Amino acid sequence: MRIAIVEDITSEREHLKAELDVQLARLSLNAVTFEYASGSDFLAAAGKERFDLVFLDIYMGNENGVDTARALRRFDEDCMLVFTTTSTDHALEGFRVRAFHYLVKPCTEADMAALFDEIIKRLPADDRYIEVNAAGGPVRLRFREILYAEHHQHQIYIYRTDGQETVVRQTFREFCASLADGRFFPCSRGVIVNLEHARDFDGADFILKNGKRVPVSRDLAKAARMAFGDFLFGRRDGR
């Protein structure tokens, strides 16, 4: 994911970048952030390579962020646009350029958390990853690369789509918390599966597309069937 911060005041750019980094880490989002001190500099960059999300200050010296947004919409209709401002006086103009949100300065961590909880629903699933400390050093795993994982003797064994496994020393609760995403289902007290790699659920096991069977605790069987159904429905529905 490519993110732009367009703000003419350096201290405010730095504050927004710091709050942004907290949310990217919280949600395990794979993103690169670019900073611009003017709307014209941003538009020049956006014309060469599109952005997924832009934080755009409305008042920037002689420039108006709404005008910048109008120019952006002439060649990019999909970028999520968040206005940063001290006032919502331009709400109507924001509606016309399809602004996703207004962030009133100075923004707080709670403001950004609420915003990103909404943003995450619109982002491609491939942007999410976890970074784990394996024996050979840090390893970054995209969510789509994980088939399932199991906890055994104080270690997490992560089985991957490339046939390899990554072993980390971590509590199962902490590991599951890092996979806060609708495609993962905890099958028992020590196993979690990625539903996007499941072909079927037979009432006792998830059957993965590679033929591997991942057992589900009997008391979780009903929840597993519902979770799998919800996941398949959401995928067909384009969510």
Residue 93 binned pLDDT confidence (cut-offs 50, 70, 90): low
Residue 184 has pLDDT above 90, yes or no: yes
84 and 154, same domain (yes or no): no
Residue 44 has pLDDT above 60, yes or no: yes
In a domain, 67, yes or no: yes
181 and 153, same domain (yes or no): yes
Which residues, in sequence order, are CB contacts of 176 under 8 Å at separation 6+? 184, 186, 192
Nearest CA to 9 out of 66, 58, 51 is that of: 58
152 and 199, same domain (yes or no): yes
Which residues, in sequence order, are CB contacts of 52 under 8 Å at separation 6+? 1, 2, 3, 79, 80, 123
What pLDDT sits at residue 85?
82
104 and 175, same domain (yes or no): no
The region, left, alpha or beta by phi > 0 then psi within -120 to 50, assigned to residue 64 is: beta
In a domain, 102, yes or no: yes
Q: Which residue has the higher pLDDT, 214 or 52?
A: 214
Residue 40 has pLDDT above 70, yes or no: yes
**Residue 25 CA neighbour count, 13 Å, CB half:** 7
Which of 125, 151, 180 is where one domain is finished?
125
Which of 96, 125, 154 is where one domain is finished?
125
The pLDDT tens digits for 146-173 are: 999 999 989 999 999 989 999 999 999 9
Q: In this structure, are residues 19 and 112 in contact, taking their beta carbons and an 8 Å threshold?
A: yes
Which of 125, 145, 174 is where one domain is finished?
125
Number of compact structural domains in the chain: 2
What pLDDT sits at residue 237?
42
Domain holding 92, by residue range, is 2-125
Residue 138 binned pLDDT confidence (cut-offs 50, 70, 90): confident
Residue 89 binned pLDDT confidence (cut-offs 50, 70, 90): low
